Amino acid sequence: MNQEINALLNKYEERIIGQSTNLRLLLSAVLAGGHVLVEGVPGTGKTQMVKTLARLIGGGFNRIQFTPDLLPSDITGSTIYNMKESSFQTLKGPIFTNILLADEINRTPAKTQAALLEAMEEKQVTIQGKTYTLEEVFFVVATQNPLEFEGTYPLPEAQQDRFLFKLDIDFPAFAEEKQVLAQVIAGIRTESDAPVMDLATFLSIRNEIEGVTINDAVLDYIMQIVRRTRETESIRFGASTRAAISIARAARAWAYLQERDYVTPDDVKIVAKPALRHRIQLSPHVELEGLTVDQIIQELVGSVTVPR
């Protein structure tokens, strides 16, 4: 692993305390070219986590607060008529950035949520019939509050499937939470952090990850895990082929962060849970028993023979 990515990780973990694994998973998803769905109670630093990453890689950052009255054009942009110049002009929306934070994405109807689909899948936006290409470094981080469901609109399965990971953000340990409090009281702010790299360097690192090797045995292991989600009685709807692709890409990025140029089954095990938890639906009898998605995934992954 080169010095730039090591410096990025060190600074990231210094500023966002108590979320080391989630920070590395978020960075792995970004390096894999994917998008991330983040779920956690208010006040756990979800927004700060994304803003800090954008600042450290020298990228542009925009935040959209999703509300019931938000329109698709509020995200993508619109075309207006300039009377002075007697011509139409396109006003680009906040989606034209490097890192887009879709805050509380489930508080807006499906029509507005769908405004993100083309951008997330094809990295382009269509405004009044004209298509605009987004930045080469572009990813969406969407947040959800797991406690409040009144006035929310659950994301359709097709949209959830476009997120490479779903991360669950929990409260840090006592000592780590006290350290966060001490930083805030001392007036330490992440806004003063200088970038540790530029976007060109970030892109070169992402290209290096393409060289991380996944042998046939590990690919077979990934496929067995994904296909098992479609065969077990505990799961009503299993994972798609896109899930297998996501696991493979994320495992390569994770291996790179571990300073290896090859993927191991352990890498697959680590990324399988965040890559699958939003892509499967449990059977009703499993939900009645009080089992969680993470428990079922862990049991399922453990049932697949690990390749040597």
* pTM for the structure as a whole: 0.90
124: number of Cβ within 10 Å? 12
pLDDT for 191 beyond 70:
no
Average pLDDT for 234-257: 94
pLDDT tens digits for 250-303?
999 999 999 999 999 999 999 999 999 999 999 998 888 888 999 999 999 999
The pair phi, psi for residue 146, each rounded to 5°, is: -80, -5
Strands 99-103 and 139-144: parallel
Query: CA–CA separation, 123 vs 132, rounded Å?
Result: 9
Q: Which residues of 61-80 are buried (b: 16+ CB within 10 A; e: fewer)?
A: bbbbebeeebebebbbbeee
Classify residue 270 as left (phi > 0), alpha (psi -120 to 50) or beta: alpha
Give the DSSP H/E element, type plus range, for residue 137. Answer: none
What's the rounded mean pLDDT across residues 105-134? 91
Contact partners, residue 192, CB within 8 Å, separation at least 6: none
**CA distance between the termini of the chain:** 25
